[in-house]
Chain A
Amino acid sequence: MRRVAVTGLGPVSSIGTGVAAFSAGLREGRSGISEITSFDASRFPYRNAGEVPDFDAAALLRRLDPAEWGRSSQLAAAAARLAATDGGFDADAPDPDRVGAVIGTTSGESVVMEQLTAQITDAGFATMDPALLAMLPAHRLAHAVSAELGLAGESVTMATACSASNYALGYAYDLIATGQAEVMFAGGADSVCRWAHAGFFRLGALTASACTPFDRDRSGILTGEGGAVLMLEELGRAQARGALIYAEVLGYGLNCDAKHPVAPDGPSIAECMRIAHRSADIKPSDVDYICAHGTGTPANDAMEAAAIAEVFGAVPPPVSSIKSMIGHTMGAASGFGAIATSLAIHQGFLPPTINWANADPAFPGLDPVPNVARPATVRVAQNNGFAFGGNNAITLFGAAA
């Protein structure tokens, strides 16, 4: 089986766009949470989210005209462009049909959906704008990446909700490992939207202003947005061209709770971790860091901590949640987790869980890397992603040998 390297990183996030800014944000424990400006939130009880208000698609994209693409496609394509530039991707490389894109998302072109809904509500179905209708299909997120980078290989949008980036990374890893592709751009994108803000609020899963994962008093998520794309490449190819290798993809695991549309299931999550460990051919004791799903809801963090304790024992490796900084970026979340994990391995630090104040007595052995990033040697790291629909997906990364 061929080995797969991470050779380019493309974060477009509320704590920084591009590797340098994002990495600095993680190290500083920066908060990307701000008052919502993308829609009128004045009549909502909670009005904060992890928007990327300074996202400038035109400045980042070289081929796509932003006017023809929805915000999520723009975020995906911009993140992919950053990853390609960071990774030194040569668009004129041979075999363009062996270079592809797999992009995960929860809500696809949610902003376009809301614009169309406003038209329907204001003046009826017949007034829907055909240009917006053309932007609506979610396959356009992956297609935007392919068009921006001139890729002829597989162009797939994984719509497995909030673990979708890990699904995308797992599939891209397999395509390279089995010799079906040479380079893949994989990750995810989503946009802040009114309906998700309302939906999470009514589920009782939204918090007011600070997301506090693994804290005793945690009270929910903040919705977030962004684009997170990694350039994955066959290891020998990366070595031959002298590429900087952030990390190696060691494997991944998927399973499905088959129990409840929204509630997580601890035993199923633990089983997903074991599947991922078998795929990567590692033992729990090999793992130096867990980049948690860590949404900050009472239910998720309790289930996740219990699953970690079940698999790793009483003293698991440090577990932090970057959602404390950037909010829950939905389909991009495990893509940001994968970027943070790759940086943790390459630069030797653990991203912190910010806003953390009180240990939860329910998980005494858990070290959330509270508030301040920490230097550490990370040889193997686990990146968790869970989702509505019981779609669990976990990726594993290792230091480049």
Chain B
Amino acid sequence: MTGLVITGWSELIPPVDPAADAAGLFDEPLPAARAAALVDFDVRAHLGRKGTSFYDRATALAVVACAAALRDSGIVVDEVGSARVGVVLGTTVGSFKSTSDFSRETLVQDKPYLVNPVLFPNTVMNCAAGQAAIRLGLRGVNATIAGGRLAMHQTLRYAVNALSRSTTEVLLVGAAEEFSPHRAWNGYRSGTDVGEGAAIFVVERADAPRHASPPVAALLGVASGFGWREAAPAALAGCVRRALAAAEVEPSMVDLVATSAAGSGPDSEYAVAVDVLGRSPEHLAVGQLLGECDAATGALGLAALLHRLRAEPTAVAVLTARTPDGGAAAAVLRGVP
């Protein structure tokens, strides 16, 4: 057992049916006008003008979602102590747009060094976690993990360790991914629609004096691993086995398999899980509801799963993820009646 519970969460989810008209969001062209984007998102409406003017979209989404998750949990940072509250965020490349735009200035300016130094921190992948800490006064463990589609699992793994090995008692864990021309064209080049969104979860130890409202779900086990090319299915199978073992959950107890990819054919995440479980529980394809959301894929998938577990608190779910590059991960969660 990881001994962790989720005591609050937030989600920023764009409309998908129909998707919004994103054409007005950027000066640059988009491959398609409609996209799963939060076109009305305005960081100032949430956090005011002060301190937010140099946030990029990814940072703004993350900080707003962190603040909302804290509110949902009922946690007041000053009551817990700022050194005991931290944040662990997932990412893929930070902000592709911020970094590329900054780099572009070195190509198009008369003098290549005439970049805007205030925007330099936005090119660094820990920008969102650093800004969340500043905004919310979080001086505990502060980490950023570039996990791509594994980010939710890897940040949860990191949180399990940090909450048992440091004096941090409360962690905000999750990811945001921004919509941008850069990501949209990246998706276009590989034939996928990209979306954006954020989901942040408040995680605490179940055996510690809890600071928040009653738990929504228990994280029973989480594992991540690696298998290059032909070893990829075995890597995911290993993660499912290790997560089940950590959770002390028998295959017969699993009610749901929630996957980051939609398919259920041979070697799909679902097929690998079914092979390990020896049975075919209900399949929830939670990872692609908004299109490709990269690092936020797992966070948004976990949020979708939590809605289900809240309605059905005795259900046990396996949540899987993998990257095209060999990364694999699985988690076991249960609702809290």
| A interface residues, Cβ below 8 angstroms from B | 43-45, 97, 100-101, 105-109, 113-114, 116-118, 120-121, 124-126, 128, 130, 133-134, 136-141, 143, 146-147, 150-161, 167, 171, 174-175, 178, 193-204, 254-262, 268, 271, 275, 387-391
Nearest opposing residue in chain B for A203, CB measure = B117
- A105: chain B residues at CB < 8 Å are 125, 146
- B324: chain A residues at CB < 8 Å are 134
Interface pair B161/A174, CB less than 8 Å apart: yes
- B264: chain A residues at CB < 8 Å are none
- A106: chain B residues at CB < 8 Å are 124-125
- B157: chain A residues at CB < 8 Å are 154, 156
Nearest opposing residue in chain A for B120, CB measure = A199
* In the complex, the 7 A-B pairs of residues with the closest C-beta atoms, listed nearest first: A389-B130, A138-B146, A256-B142, A159-B125, A125-B185, A199-B120, A155-B226
Interface pair A167/B123, CB less than 8 Å apart: no
Once bound together, how far apart are the Cα atoms of A275 and B136, in whole Å?
Answer: 22
Interface bits B145-182 vs A (CB < 8 Å: 1, else 0):
11110100010011001001111000000000000011
Interface pair A389/B133, CB less than 8 Å apart: yes
Q: How far is the CB of B166 from chain A (nearest CB, A)?
A: 7
Can you offer 6 A-B residue contacts whose CB atoms are under 8 A? A106-B125, A113-B103, A201-B113, A204-B117, A256-B139, A390-B134
Within 8 A of A (CB), among B292-337: 294, 323-327
- B140: chain A residues at CB < 8 Å are 255-256
Interface pair A388/B126, CB less than 8 Å apart: yes
Interface pair B100/A113, CB less than 8 Å apart: yes
Given contacts A137-B93, A153-B225, A202-B120, contact A261 B130 (CB under 8 A): yes
Once bound together, how far apart are the Cα atoms of A202 and B92, in whole Å?
Answer: 26
Q: Is B104 part of the binding interface, using a Cβ–Cβ cutoff of 8 Å?
A: yes
Nearest opposing residue in chain B for A256, CB measure = B142
> Number of residues in B with C-beta < 8 Å to the partner?
84
Nearest opposing residue in chain A for B102, CB measure = A195
Q: How far is the CB of A334 from chain B (nearest CB, A)?
A: 14
Q: How far is the CB of B190 from chain A (nearest CB, A)?
A: 6
Q: Is B242 part of the binding interface, using a Cβ–Cβ cutoff of 8 Å?
A: yes
- B134: chain A residues at CB < 8 Å are 258-261, 390
Nearest opposing residue in chain A for B158, CB measure = A171
Once bound together, how far apart are the Cα atoms of A200 and B115, in whole Å?
Answer: 10
Candidates B99, B121, B142; contact of A261 at CB < 8 Å: B121
Which of B17-25, B35-43, B227-235, B277-285 is found at the contact surface with chain A? B227-235
- B114: chain A residues at CB < 8 Å are 202
Q: Is B268 part of the binding interface, using a Cβ–Cβ cutoff of 8 Å?
A: no
Candidates B104, B189, B227; contact of A133 at CB < 8 Å: B189
Q: How far is the CB of B2 from chain A (nearest CB, A)?
A: 11
Given contacts A155-B327, A259-B134, contact A121 B161 (CB under 8 A): no
- A156: chain B residues at CB < 8 Å are 145, 147, 154, 157-158, 224
Interface pair A198/B106, CB less than 8 Å apart: yes
Interface pair A117/B104, CB less than 8 Å apart: yes
Q: Is B49 part of the binding interface, using a Cβ–Cβ cutoff of 8 Å?
A: no
Once bound together, how far apart are the Cα atoms of A139 and B92, in whole Å?
Answer: 7
Q: How far is the CB of A2 from chain B (nearest CB, A)?
A: 13
Within 8 A of A (CB), among B260-284: none
Nearest opposing residue in chain A for B294, CB measure = A137
Given contacts A120-B100, A153-B226, A256-B86, contact A391 B126 (CB under 8 A): yes
